[in-house]
Chain A
Amino acid sequence: MNDWPRRFEAELVRLGLQPERAHRLTAETAAQAGEHAADPDHFFGPAHLYARHLVAELQVSTLEEKRAAAGKVMLRLAGVTKRYGRRTVLTGVDLTVRGGEVAAIVGANGCGKSTLLRICAGLTAPTSGTVQRTRRVGFVPQDGGTAGWLTADEHFTLFGAAAGIAPRKARSTGAHLASLLAWRPTGSQPVQELSGGTRQKLNLVLGELHGPDLLLLDEPYQGFDQGSYLDFWRQVRAWRDAGRAVVVVTHLLHELQHVDHVLDLGGAS
């Protein structure tokens, strides 16, 4: 007998299931493979991946029940057009996102997804059209605004200061938010020594540090491994269920079942 059940159970517990429930699910899962006279590793795949898949499925079903009705409007774009010289990047874009909703911006590379997100954030002005947004906005760009020679803690302090958060509170909030993405920042390591995926986690934490009502995310999972990727979408659902509005630029169409609005910008302009 291999140690698949032990690893499966350990991962379920690490993902936050009650130990008793994890134990029960592990026994059931082993029995299910037995029904098919199959080895669990062969039948379900690697223990940790199946554990994450199962937990994600279970969370989707409970979150859907618990979902609150959509709240007040956090972002409203009306007739937004953007031209650079003679080149038209965006034409007549309308989008309304309320608290408790997730919107996805999709489309081919070069169709203006990132430009639109910057317009949502107020970092780029539209050529015409109107943008209304709530006051507290978190923006996570694709190539983050991090400084390579500073540590994660120093980033928390710095970004916290910009939002009027005391250094100690900023650091503890940062550490907590990092833990939700299964990341534990180490004290003295400068950010330039982190992997690409971990730097993206830092970006996400920084975008969220001040508890914004509207989160604008530009494919923030580049370089994530499978587990972190699931953690990320779980986090998106948690934000949504907490009544925040989330806008995600993504090219991963299979995630669209989890979102409320899809804005398809189509092909490259």
Chain B
Amino acid sequence: MTPRPWLHGFLDLCLLAMLRERPDYGYGLAQRLAAAGVADIPGGTLYPALLRLEQQGLASPSWAPSENGPRRKYYEITPAGLGALRAQADEWRVFRDGVDALIGNEMAGEHTP
């Protein structure tokens, strides 16, 4: 699982990517992040992030009843959210490739006699 300081920079990206697939509510998103092996995200990190997305107009909320228990706040990605997702995904790829290149070199170095 990714340590939290790293996740902080990529959480919005992960949330937007999941919302592009389908609208979801907080608990569902937490489960999907954990299932993807990305993070076991604390509620105190997840819910403020969702509120931020809502406030920035990147995701729009709607309430829906649940089979058991109180109604849920579902988030749906907006056109602005899709734009932000594309931009952040590009940044992520550049970052990932850069780190991969560095790690690759180090690993190769270790195997050199």
Contacts and interface: CB of A to CB of B under 8 A. Distances in A.
Contacts of B43: 32-33, 36, 38, 43-44
A44 B44 contact: yes
Contact of B70 (A31, A57, A58): A31
A38 B27 CA distance: 12
A56 to B, nearest CB: 9
Main secondary structure of the interface of A (DSSP, over half): helix
A61 B52 contact: yes
Contacts of A65: 56
A255 to B, nearest CB: 13
Interface of A: 25, 28-29, 31-36, 38, 43-45, 50, 53-54, 57-58, 60-62, 65, 254
User: Looking at B27, B44, B49, B72, which has the most chain A CB atoms within 10 Å of its CB?
Assistant: B44
A29 B47 contact: yes
Given A33-B43, A43-B43, A57 B72 contact: no
A44 B46 CA distance: 10
Contact of B51 (A35, A38, A57): A57
Contact of A28 (B44, B52, B55, B73): B73
B70 A54 contact: no
Contacts of B52: 57-58, 60-61
Contact of B72 (A33, A35, A60, A61): A35
Contacts of A35: 25-27, 69, 72
Interface in B39-78: 43-44, 47-49, 51-52, 55-56, 69-73
A264 to B, nearest CB: 19
A61 B44 contact: no
A26 to B, nearest CB: 12
A28 B27 CA distance: 13
Contacts of B27: 32, 35-36
A32 B72 CA distance: 9
Contacts of B51: 25, 54, 57-58
22 contacts: A25-B51, A28-B47, A28-B73, A31-B70, A32-B26, A32-B27, A32-B43, A32-B47, A35-B72, A36-B43, A44-B43, A53-B44, A53-B48, A54-B47, A54-B51, A57-B48, A57-B49, A57-B52, A60-B52, A61-B52, A61-B55, A62-B55
Contacts of B49: 57
Contact of A43 (B44, B48, B56): B44
Contacts of B48: 53-54, 57-58
A33 B47 CA distance: 10
Contacts of A57: 48-49, 51-52
A254 B72 CA distance: 33
A34 B44 contact: no
Given A29-B47, A32-B43, A34-B69, A61 B56 contact: yes
Given A32-B26, A34-B70, 5 more contacts: A32-B43, A35-B25, A44-B43, A57-B51, A58-B52
A58 B55 contact: yes
Contacts of B55: 58, 61-62
A44 B56 CA distance: 23
A40 to B, nearest CB: 9
Contacts of A38: 43
A254 B43 CA distance: 20
Contacts of A60: 52
A62 B51 CA distance: 11
Nearest to B28: A35
